[in-house]
Structure 1
């Protein structure tokens, strides 16, 4: 039976590189735990390529389905709260905007082979939902206090 992930300390890779990398034979990837930095993952190039192909195919099919089928768009709006529970704090119009933006960003990011724009889009909408979940914060950010302190100088420019 193949395990999904082998976890080892980074020092183990440094001290026993052959034995540590041999762990890839029984695992899909090795998670290298580092004490003072972000953890690293080691996997094979073939697995990365395979994962990218699967992600690409899934993204293209999902986006095509949502673009061409009204029922799929409706279903997407119904299931978004399951995938992203925090959308419950957004208006229906905002949930539709989130779904539309996600459907636009997914294929664009996939075409570049860099999904960070998708993560950024999701995080931005989640932060919006966080603001809407807190009535005091929402009021503080949306209430016009009538105060205007004039133009803001460029960073580094003293006035």
Structure 2
């Protein structure tokens, strides 16, 4: 989370709810640290709607730009390393595949209002780039071991 967001323990929300919620006037989000679970983010409904509107607009613009003219995909390919420096480790065909998948996934995710698939796709491509960045790991994962253990049974 960015520095302009406040952070408190979840117990403060429970024990001092009015004072804790008042902090949302000073900060767009409140990070709630939990001892026995994943941290939570608290924000106002208006702020969450604004965030979704911005993400949706960016997704629609990127999708429209990528499909508008043949040269727009080249522009997207040119700016990807600035937005995602790790794409420099991907082979050229994978950079193009990543760009297409990014646009398509963002468009689809926007249509259902859930960006989890975009985050998952970005993480998967970043891990692929990490493998390509390490020659030893890449060789180990792409090497033909010559052993075929046959089909895998369904669990």
**Does 2:155 align with 1:152?**
no
Distance 2:70 2:42 in 1: 42
Q: Of the two, which has the highest radius of gyration?
A: 1
Match in the other structure for 1:136: 136
Once superposed, what is the RMSD of the aligned Cα atoms? 1.6
Distance 1:41 1:149 in 2: 46
- Following superposition, which runs of at least 4 residues in structure 1 exceed 4 angstroms of deviation? none
**Offset, 1:135:** 1.6
Secondary structure of the residue aligned to 1:27 is coil
Match in the other structure for 2:29: 29
Number of residue equivalences: 153
TM-score, with length taken from structure 2: 0.90
Between 1:51-60 and 1:3-12, the stretch displaced more is 3-12
Distance 2:65 2:14 in 1: 47
**Offset, 1:54:** 1.7
Secondary structure of the residue aligned to 2:31 is strand
Match in the other structure for 1:95: 95
TM-score, with length taken from structure 1: 0.88
Secondary structure of the residue aligned to 2:5 is strand
Distance 1:149 1:61 in 2: 47
**Offset, 1:37:** 1.9
Match in the other structure for 1:107: 107
**Offset, 1:82:** 1.5
Q: Following superposition of structure 1 onto structure 2, how do residues 7-156 of structure 1 map, counting pairs within 5 Å?
A: 7-155=7-155
**Offset, 1:105:** 0.4
**Offset, 1:31:** 1.1
Unaligned runs of 5+ in 1: none
Secondary structure of the residue aligned to 2:28 is strand
Unaligned runs of 5+ in 2: none
Secondary structure of the residue aligned to 1:36 is coil
1:129-156 CA distance string (max 9 Å, x none): 111112222122222222122232332x
**Offset, 1:43:** 0.9
Between 1:106-115 and 1:23-32, the stretch displaced more is 23-32
